[in-house]
Amino acid sequence: MSDVEPSAAPAAQRCGLVAIVGRPNVGKSTLLNALVGQKVSITSAKAQTTRHRITGIRTVGEAQFVFVDTPGFQTKHSAALNRTLNRTVTGVLSDVDVVLFVVEAGRFGLDDAKVLALMQGTTKPVFLIANKLDTVVRRADLAPWLKGMQDRHAFAEFVPLSAKKDADVQRLLGIVKPYLPEQPWFHDEDALTDRSEKFLASEIIREKLFRLTGDELPYTSTVVIDEFKEEGNLRRISASIVVERDAHKGMVIGNGGERLKRIGSEARQELETLMDAKVFLELWVKVRSGWADDEAHLRSYGYE
């Protein structure tokens, strides 16, 4: 009887939580989407776009990365909404394996410093992600800046990159991988997010609202899904855009309802692609003054 050749043991599964933190507007959600390879978190040029902890999952070979996008840490305002957002960030830091601290390459301001201060006590590896490298005109200035950053924290890795360049994003996955603990995967191999279609629908509508109203509309507006019905390959969605004042209502609706129509049609098209289904979308605009300062309202609108 011949000996049975022992087959090579398959590489052990790795899986870990990777938090993405940083001040508003540095490109955290853009980076998350690029890392996952699909849009799971909305982005806009407006600060404070992300309002929830959003998980994006990517499985490559034996490694499963569970990225956690967070709201840009708020230091300027003290409304209940901001308190809630900040709690989301500090809560995330306690149970992750790696932290990606995102800044804009070549810049480090007071807002960045306040976020970094949250990490002073942590024993977790923190990476410095110097994003928007494509906007740095003089690359030579970056070396002294990086050197200065070394003095601010014992960063485990320094990664200058552009979240909009695929090669950079793939390189980052390779750098994070050895930091993931060896343990079984938390999610299916093809999972992309732990969020529901209903949640994604409200987020996509909010993204179009933010993008199409620009800076005129205060950030204290939100979207609530009143009805979400799945009928085979059809989704019937009815949603309300909630604003704080009558004047804001007009901004959302626009001349002859034109802007609201556009928000609806752009959201619908994106949702159809995302859900691979036909979407009927009905949008309403409601005024609820003070919602962002009312903890009970915040909870009923899905803020943890």
Interacting residues with ligand GTP (CB under 6 A): 22, 24-30, 43-45, 47-50, 71-72, 131-132, 134-135, 162-164
Which is nearer to ligand GTP, 48 or 64 (by Cβ)?
48
CB hemisphere CA count around 54 (13 angstroms): 26
Q: How far is the CB of 263 from ligand GTP (least distance, A)?
A: 18
Residues that bind Mg ion (CB under 5 A): 28-29, 49-50
User: Is 274:36 a contact under the CB 8 Å cutoff?
Assistant: no
Query: CB under 5 to 8 A by kind: which of Mg ion, ligand GTP, none does 84 bind?
Result: none
| Sequence-ordered alpha helix ranges (H) in the chain | 28-36, 80-94, 110-117, 142-150, 166-176, 197-213, 246-253, 258-275, 295-300
Decide which of Mg ion, ligand GTP, none touches 82; Cβ closer than 5 to 8 Å per partner kind.
none
The least distance separating ligand GTP from the CB of residue 85, rounded to whole angstroms, comes to 9
How far apart, in Å, are the Cα atoms of 111 and each of 22, 63, 296?
9, 33, 29
CB of 109 to ligand GTP, least distance (A): 14
Helix, strand, or coil (residue 130): strand
Longest CA span, the chain? 87
Q: Which is nearer to ligand GTP, 134 or 182 (CB)?
A: 134
Least CB distance from residue 106 to ligand GTP, whole Å?
12
**Cα–Cα dist 1/63, whole Å:** 38
Considering CB distances under 5 to 8 angstroms, the limit depending on partner class, which of ligand GTP, Mg ion, none binds residue 93? Answer: none
Q: How far apart are CA 217 and CA 228, in angstroms?
A: 26
Kindly state the smallest distance separating residue 67's Cβ from Mg ion, in Å.
12
Based on CB atoms, which residue is closest to Mg ion, 40 or 281? 40
If residue 231 lies in a helix (H) or strand (E), which one and from where to where?
strand 222-231
Residue facing ligand GTP at closest CB distance:
72
